Amino acid sequence: MPANETPVTLQHIRAARERIAGKVERTPAVLSQSLSDRAGHPVHLKLEHHQATGAFKLRGASNAIATLSPQEKARGVVAASTGNHGRALAHAAKLEGIRAVICMSKLVPQNKLDAIRRLGADVRIVGNSQDDAQQEVDRLVAEEGLVMLPPFDHPDIIAGQGTLGLETMEQVPDASAVLVPLSGGGLASGVAAAVKGVSPSTKVIGISMARGAAMKASLDAGRPVQVEELPTLADSLGGGIGLDNRLTFAMCRSLLDDVILLSEDEIAAGIRHAYEREREIVEGAGAVGIAALLAGKVKAKGPMVAILSGRNIDMELHRRIVCGEAIGERAA
């Protein structure tokens, strides 16, 4: 499937960019001298962790909400996410003045719950697992008519995340490779569609943790498969791609040039390098591009861009990592 025939194309992404202009930040791309010296090619860091809400997820959430009809906006949106997607949805819904309900299980830590509640979202605590929370989402869709906006497998979410790829190619037009954190693949699908749309020869490389890399296992199997979810420093990359995945599996299969897997120690080294050498605080998922470069796992023939996707790490954990505590393989 060539880049102009995927379910989300450059045209959708350009439309998304007009829709969300003024609602999301255009984040900087900066040259990393230390990583360039190591790689032997210029390495640029796309500082998307500076995005409002601390992660790129605001792009997809803002685009999906802006695409709703007036009737859908009146009904409100719902999702089961304790992390960056829930936070982004709550933020974007508040800007539009529409209702957002975020469902989570009793196991969610208080600080995450507070952060989402502070954005004005209606938080529902149900059951003891993500599955229980999802059942409440399904009930709210069926009984109250709320619109479900999932974290990655949705065309407007993918197109919104793709705006990050458009910006990246404007800032580093000669990029030979773009390194993208990979979980459900909404980010990688959107960024790859944008990058390949404007520069077909630029490689797009997905990066996941070795522990529970659902998209990599699915690509290897040739169909969406379930993997065991394990604790990881890259917690925003955990979770499955959905056995009934509609869009991101096919897009990642046709658009990604490679997928790199990282150990927990390698991810910890990425977080540490970001802090000490780049003066940036990033979460595990946001550090995987840097980590892959440090581990010597990226083969490129020219300028590269690593997308730093988020910064929402527990600061106590961050402090332990940068102080050199051996958290690595024992995970967070």
**Pairing state of beta strands 29-31 and 77-79?**
unpaired
| Binding positions for ligand PLP, 117-176, rule CB under 6 A | 152
Q: What are phi and psi of 179, to 5 degrees?
A: -100, 120
- Residue with the closest Cβ to ligand PLP? 310
User: Which residue has 């954990």 as its token pair?
Assistant: 317
In the list 309, 313, 327, 332, the residue contacting ligand PLP (rule: CB under 6 A) is 309
**Number of residues engaging ligand PLP in binding (CB under 6 A):** 19
**Whole-angstrom Cα distance, residue 207 to residue 237?**
10
Tokens found for residue 133: 């929370």
Nearer to ligand PLP (CB atom), residue 58 or residue 99: 58
Q: Given phi > 0 = left and psi -120 to 50 = alpha, else beta, which region is 54?
A: left
Cβ within 8 Å of residue 172, ≥6 positions away: 29, 44, 303, 305
Is 57 among the residues known to form the active site? yes
Shortest spacing between CB 256 and ligand PLP, in angstroms = 11
Amino acid at 60: G
x-marked contacts with ligand PLP along 208-247 as a string, rule CB under 6 A? ----------------------------xx----------
- What are the C-alpha distances in Å from 104 to residues 16, 89, 283? 29, 14, 21
Considering only 19, 44, 57, 318, the residue that binds ligand PLP (CB under 6 A) is 57
> Is-catalytic flag, 309?
yes
Residue 171 CB, shortest distance to ligand PLP, in Å, is 19
Interacting residue ranges for ligand PLP, rule: CB under 6 A: 55, 57, 84, 152, 181-188, 236-237, 283, 285-286, 309-310
Q: Give the residue numbers annotated as catalytic, written as ranges.
A: 57, 309
